[in-house]
Amino acid sequence: MAKTALIIGGGASGILAAILLAKNNREVTLLEKNDRIGKKLLGTGNGKCNLTNLSCSSKDYNTDFVAKILQKYSPARVIELFSDLGLLVRTDSEGRVYPYSESATTVLNVLMQKLGEYGVKVICDCEVKSVDNKGGTWTAHTEKTDYRADMIVIATGSDATTGSKGYKLLQPLGYQCTPLCYAIAPLLSNDIKGANGVRAKAEAAIVIDGKEEMRERGEFLFKDNAVSGVLAFRLSSVLARKKGKFDSCELLIDFLPDYTVEQIVERILAFDNAITPLGGIMHKALAQNILAVTPMDRSLIMSPAKALAIAKSCKNFKAKITGVAGRQFAQAVSGGIDVKDFDDVTLQSVKHKGLYCTGEVLDVDGLCGGYNLQWAWASAMAVGGCDGDKD
C-alpha cells in the first residue's frame, strides 16, 4: 500500500513539503483553511517575494536549531530547487533573491504546477480543528470529514497578518508554545513628529536597558507614531525576541553616517544659516525633529558651539520605543512551538513518530530580508526528502 501524508496548511512550507513528499511517491493530501493556497506568499516582499538571501546563516535567526538544516538546504540549494521547478530568479546587491518577474505569483505558479504534476490532493476551505494519533495512524479532524495518513506535517505558519492559530493543534498533544511577539513590524515611537511618509537612509542601533543590541545601516520610513522600513523591521526582531522582558528601549539614529561630527560642523558653519541649518542636508521634517531636541541657544545666530550641538544630534538622535506594531503590520512572529521536541535534521517530533513541523509554526524567526521564507523552504526540504532521501 502507498505511504500517505497529510499536510496541514497550504503556505510556503506546506506546499513545498507536499510537492517533495509526492515526488518521493507518497500519496499526499494538503488541507488549507483559506479558499486558496499560498495567500500569504502572494503578499511577501511587497508582492515581489524575497524568497531567500545568499548571506543566510543561523546568526540571522533566533535559534541555532536551524543550523544543520540551513547547512544542508542552503540558499544556493533552494535556488537550485526552484530552478528545477522552472523559476528564474534575480539577486539584488544585498544578496536578496527574488523571482526574475519580481512577482510572487510566479513563485506560486511554479509550485501549483508541480502540485498538479505530482498528484497532490489539495482541499481548500478546510480548517483542521484537531489532530490525533491512534495505532500509528494520524487523523486530522475538520468540521465535515476526518482525513487519515501515516505521516502528518503541521505547516500552519504564524498568526502574523493572517491570525492563524495553528499552534493550538499541537498543544493538546503535549507540545509547548513559547511566548509570542510580533516581529518584522514598525517600531512604535512618539518621539519623531510630522514626518509621516518621509524616507531616510541611516545607521541605527536598538538599545535595550542601556545595552546596544544591534546596529545596522538601511532605510527608515517614518510614520505617525511609528518608524517603519527595512531597517526598522530588522531591528524589531531583536526587540520581539525579548518578549517584553525589558524596562526601556531606545532607537539611536545616525542620520548622517557618511560624515563625521567635524565635517557636519564645518558644513553648517560654511553656510552660516541659523534659521534652517540643516536645510540642504536632510528632509526638513527630520531636521525639525533634530533641532527640537538639540540643547542650544534658540537665537538666530549660528556659532561653533551651536553647530557642534546640532551635528551631535544628527549623529545621535534618540527616540524612545514603546513597542512593536501589532498583528496586521507584522511579517513574522517571534515564538511558536518549542523546537526542543523536534529533531534538528528531520524535523520529526521526538515524542510522536510520523509528526513533523515546518516553517513558522515552530519557534524559529529570521530577520527581514528573505530569511523566513528560506526557513520555510529549507524546513520543507528537510521533511520532504528533497534528495530522494525520505523513507
Q: Residue 270 burial (CB < 10 Å; 0-12/13-18/19+)?
A: exposed
* Stretch binding ligand FAD (CB under 6 A), from 30-38, 107-115, 221-229, 272-280: 30-38
Cβ-closest position to ligand FAD: 11
- Site for ligand FAD (CB under 6 A): which residue of 4, 24, 29, 44? 44
Sheet of 151-154, strand order: 121-123, 27-31, 4-8, 151-154, 355-357
Spatial CA neighbour of 205 closest among 249, 264, 243, 240: 249
CA distance linking residue 191 with residue 356, whole number of Å: 45
Cα dihedral 34, 379, 56, 79 sign: negative
Contact 34, 130 (CB under 8 A): no
Closest approach of Cβ 162 to ligand FAD, in Å? 6
Binding to ligand FAD (CB under 6 A): which residues in 162-221? 162, 164, 166
Helix (H) or strand (E) holding 15: helix 12-23
14 part of the interface to ligand FAD, by CB under 6 A: yes
Spatial CA neighbour of 293 closest among 276, 270, 316: 316
* Stretch binding ligand FAD (CB under 6 A), from 6-14, 85-93, 215-223, 338-346: 6-14
Q: Which is nearer to ligand FAD, 72 or 327 (CB)?
A: 327
Closest approach of Cβ 308 to ligand FAD, in Å? 42
* Stretch binding ligand FAD (CB under 6 A), from 33-41, 63-71, 188-196, 281-289: 33-41
Contact 225, 251 (CB under 8 A): no
237 part of the interface to ligand FAD, by CB under 6 A: no
- Site for ligand FAD (CB under 6 A): which residue of 4, 6, 7, 13? 13
Distance of CA 167 to the CA centre of its chain: 18
Binding to ligand FAD (CB under 6 A): which residues in 345-384? 359-361, 370-373, 376
* Stretch binding ligand FAD (CB under 6 A), from 38-46, 171-179, 225-233, 279-287: 38-46
Q: Please, which residues have CB within 8 angstroms of residue 366's CB and are 6 or more apart in sequence?
A: 56, 60, 61, 62, 237, 332, 372, 374, 375
- Site for ligand FAD (CB under 6 A): which residue of 7, 11, 189, 238? 11
Spatial CA neighbour of 19 closest among 105, 82, 96: 82
40 part of the interface to ligand FAD, by CB under 6 A: yes
The label of the residue with cell 501549483 reads 112
Grouping H, G, I as helix, E, B as strand and the rest as coil, residue 247 is coil
Closest approach of Cβ 55 to ligand FAD, in Å? 13
Binding to ligand FAD (CB under 6 A): which residues in 130-159? 155-157
Q: Which is nearer to ligand FAD, 13 or 289 (CB)?
A: 13
Spatial CA neighbour of 74 closest among 62, 90, 58, 91: 58
Spatial CA neighbour of 289 closest among 308, 268, 317, 261: 317
- Site for ligand FAD (CB under 6 A): which residue of 20, 21, 31, 200? 31
* Stretch binding ligand FAD (CB under 6 A), from 3-11, 268-276, 311-319, 346-354: 3-11
By residue count, the chain amounts to 391
CA distance linking residue 250 with residue 207, whole number of Å: 5
Q: Which is nearer to ligand FAD, 107 or 256 (CB)?
A: 107
Contact 202, 289 (CB under 8 A): no
- Site for ligand FAD (CB under 6 A): which residue of 27, 34, 214, 274? 34
Binding to ligand FAD (CB under 6 A): which residues in 114-133? 127-128
- Site for ligand FAD (CB under 6 A): which residue of 228, 331, 348, 349? 331
Q: Which is nearer to ligand FAD, 10 or 323 (CB)?
A: 10
12 part of the interface to ligand FAD, by CB under 6 A: yes
Residues in the site for ligand FAD, rule: CB under 6 A? 8-14, 31-34, 39-41, 43-45, 49-50, 127-128, 155-157, 160-162, 164, 166, 331-332, 359-361, 370-373, 376
